[in-house]
Amino acid sequence: MPRMPAVEAAVRVLEKEGVTVAFGVPGAAINPLYAALRRRGTIRHILARHVEGASHMADGYTRAAPGNIGVCIGTSGPAGTDMITGLYTAQADSVPILCITGQAPRAKLHKEDFQAVDIESIAKPVTKWAVTVREPGLVPRVFQQAFHVMRSGRPGPVLIDLPLDVQNAEIEFDDTTYAPLPVYKPAATRAQIEHAMGMLVTAERPLIVAGGGIINADASDLLVRFAEVTGIPVIPTLMGWGSIPDDHPLMAGMVGLQTSHRYGNATFLKSDFVLGIGNRWANRHTGSIEVYTEGRRFIHVDIEPTQIGRVFNPDFGIVSDAGAALALFVEVAEAWKAEGRLPDWSDWAAECLHRKRTMLRRTHFDQVPLKPQRVYQEMNEAFSRDTCYVTTIGLSQIAGAQFLHVYKPRNWINCGQAGPLGWTLPAALGVRAADPHREIVALSGDYDFQFLIEELAVGAQYKLPYLHIVVNNSYLGLIRQAQRGFQMDFEVSLAFDNINMRDEDGVAGYGVDHVAVAEGLGCKALRVKSPNEFKEAFKKARALMDEHQVPVVLEFILERVTNIAMGTELNNITEFEEILTLEPSASLDDMSGPRMNDATVTAEPAPEKQPA
C-alpha cells in the first residue's frame, strides 16, 4: 500500500470528495498541509486577508450551487478562533463548510505552547463535529467522516484540527479504492404525506411556508409544482426566498417583523392553515407565537427531528428532507386532484394576489440626499432576473428584502440567523469563485462594508469581479432605529470630518472615503449622490468590471436617517414612510417603481428629523 504524509492523504480525500477550491491563510502550524496542496496542484487556493474572511468565503462558495462544500484553512491559535464566527454563521443557516486548522504537536497540547488553543472545545457548540486528530492513521478517515457528517441530515460545518506532528507522520493510504460514505437523509412516508394532505384539505385559507431547507434540497421546482397542483399560495422565508419566483401568481409575499411585505403579513393574518416545509419558525419571521399561531393549524416538515416542536408544537410533524417530502406531496396531490378530492382554493389565491398588487410601499423619491427606497427601485430596473444578491444584516438587508425582487433559488444568498457584520464582502467573493458567469451584486450598509473591507484586495488579486452596492448613511442604521425605544442616538454615528475627503464630491462629514479605500485595494469605485446619476452609474460599473475583472464598488450617499418599516408583531408593523394604495386593476408590472407615481399615496408617521 502506498506510503505518504498524513496531510497528503487528507488532500487526496478532499479531491475524491469533489473539492476544487480552498480559502485560507498559511502559517507555521499548517504549512505541511499547504506543502501537500502545492505538491498535488489539484485544488485552487485563494489567499484571504483575514481568516474570518476565509470562513465567509467558504460559506458563500457552498451556498452558490447545490453540492458545493467550501473549505477554509488556517494555522493554530488565532486562526481557529477567527473562524468561530464563520462556523457559527454556517451552523445557524445549515451550511456545510469544512474548516481545517493547524495545531501544536501532541506532546505540547497542554503546555501552553505558542498559539496552542483547544479549538476542538471552542468550536463544538457551533459545529456538527469538531475534532483534533491525535493519530496519524485516522487522518483520511476523519476527513471521510467529516464529509459524511456535513452532508447528512441537517447540513452543517465541521472543524478538523491537525497537530503538526500528525500532519508530518507517514501513513499507508490507497486512494484508488476510496469512495465517499453514503449520505443519510430522512424521508417522509406516503402514509405521513397522505395524513398531512387529509388535514390540509379541511382548510379554507391555507398557505405554504417555504424555508431554506427547500433550497438546500434543490427542491424549488417541486415546491412550485405542488403549489400549482393545489393552488395554495406560498410564503417564502428569508432563507427560502427565490424558491418560487417573485412574480409567480402564487408567491404571496414574505412574512415577518422586518424582512417582509405588507401584503405578505396581511395574507398570513387572514390564513387558517400553514404547511411549513424546511423552515424553523425564526422569531423575526413569527413575532410572538401567540399572534402567529392564533386561529391557525400547522404542519411542520423538517429534516432535523429536534426542530419540530422546538418553537411551538405543530398539529402534525414530519421528519424528512424537503425534497423527499415534496416529491410525495406532488404525487399525492396530483392523484387526489385527478380523483376530485382537492378543494378549489382559487378565490383565496385571487384574494392573496389582489393584496400583492395593491398593498405596496412607496419607492420613488427624487430628493437629495438619496432615500434608500429609490436605490432598490433602481436596482430592480438595472439588474436582470438572473442576478444573484449577497447580503447580511442591517437596514440595507431589511430594505433590500422589502423592495428587491428574486426569481430563482440561490439568487438571494443571505446570512440569516447569525447576521455577522462583514460577511457580505467575503461571501460574495466565495460565490464568484464558485460561479464565474452569474451577475453577482452584493449589498451592504457602510458599517458592514467596513468590517472586512480588506478582502477587496482578494477580489483584485484573484480577478473575482462583482458589483458591491454600498448604501452609505454613515450610521449603524439598524441599531440607531432600535435605540428609538430608549430615546437615544448614542455611539451609532460613523460620520466625522474626514480631512482627506475631496471637496468636489460634496460629501464632507460622511466619514470614510470608501471610493479611495476601494481604489487603494486594487478595485474600482463610483459614488452616486443624485437620482439623475443612477442609470449611467450602473452602466459604467458594469463596464469597469468587464474591463478590469475586479470588484467594483458603487456607493450611494443616503440621507442620514430613514426609518425602515418594522414592528413588534405581524399585526403591528410601523411603516414610517408613505405607502401606496393601488387600484384593484393594477397589474404585477405596477410593482416596479416609477409607474407607481400616479397611485394613491397614504401617509404614515413621518420620519424623524435629520440630525445636524
What band does 509 get if pLDDT is binned at 50, 70 and 90? low
- Residue 342 annotated as catalytic: no
Q: What is the pLDDT of residue 169?
A: 96
pLDDT digits (tens, 9 = 90+) for 395-454: 889 999 999 999 999 999 999 888 899 999 999 999 999 999 999 999 999 999 999 999
pLDDT tens sequence across 453-463: 999 999 999 99
Give residue 495's pLDDT. Answer: 82
**pLDDT score of 498:** 84
Residue ranges covered by each domain of the chain: 3-174, 190-357, 366-557
Catalytic residue among 33, 328, 421, 452, which? 421
Residue owning grid cell 438572473? 386
Residue 139 annotated among the catalytic residues of the structure: no
Residue 48: CA count within 13 A, CB half-sphere:
33
Q: Directed axis angle between helix 346-358 and helix 262-270, to 10°?
A: 150
State CA 197 to chain mean position distance: 31
| CATH class of the region 366-557 | alpha beta
Higher model confidence: residue 610 or residue 127? 127
Statement: 3-174 belongs to CATH 3.40.50.970:
yes
**C-beta neighbour count of 487 within 10 angstroms:** 7
* CA dist list (Å): 519 to 4, 13, 133, 379, 499: 45, 40, 43, 23, 18
Catalytically annotated residue among 138, 183, 269, 479: 479
Give 118-154 pLDDT, tens digit per residue. Answer: 999 999 999 999 999 999 999 999 999 999 999 999 9
Residue 476 annotated to the active site:
yes
pLDDT mean over 294-320: 96
509: left (phi over 0), alpha (psi -120 to 50) or beta: left
Residue 118's pLDDT is 93
Task: Assess whether 479 carries a catalytic annotation.
Answer: yes
> Closest Cα to residue 122, out of 158, 157, 91, 80?
80
Question: Does pLDDT of 587 surpass 70?
Answer: no
Residue 102, pLDDT > 90, answer: yes
User: Which architecture does CATH list for 190-357?
Assistant: 3-Layer(aba) Sandwich (3.40)
Upstream peptide bond of 157 is cis (omega within 30 degrees of 0): no
In our burial notation (b when 16+ CB lie closer than 10 A, e otherwise), range 337-365 reads eeeeebeebeebbebbbebbbbbbbbbbb
Average pLDDT estimate for 65-77: 95
Which residue of the set 71, 215, 393, 476 is catalytic? Answer: 476
Say whether pLDDT at 603 is over 50: no
Please give the pLDDT value at position 576: 83
pLDDT at 580: 62
Give the distance from CA 543 to its chain's centroid. 27
Choosing from 14, 37, 46, 51, the catalytic residue is: 51
User: Is 85 a residue whose pLDDT tops 60?
Assistant: yes
Q: What is the pLDDT of residue 504?
A: 58
pLDDT of residue 365: 87
* pLDDT tens by residue, 224-263: 999 999 999 999 999 999 999 999 999 999 999 999 999 9
- Predicted local distance difference test score (pLDDT) of residue 79: 94
Q: What is the pLDDT averaged over residues 283-291?
A: 93
Query: Quick one: which H or E segment has residue 307?
Result: none
Rounded mean pLDDT, 14-41: 96
For residues 264 and 254, is the Cβ–Cβ distance under 8 A?
yes
Please check whether the two domains, 3-174 and 366-557, share a CATH topology.
Answer: yes
Model confidence at 503, pLDDT cuts 50, 70, 90, reads low
Respond yes or no: is residue 319 known to be catalytic.
no
Candidates 25, 232, 471, 544; catalytic one = 25
Closest-CA residue to 408 (of 90, 64, 68, 70):
64
- Helix/strand/coil for 171: strand
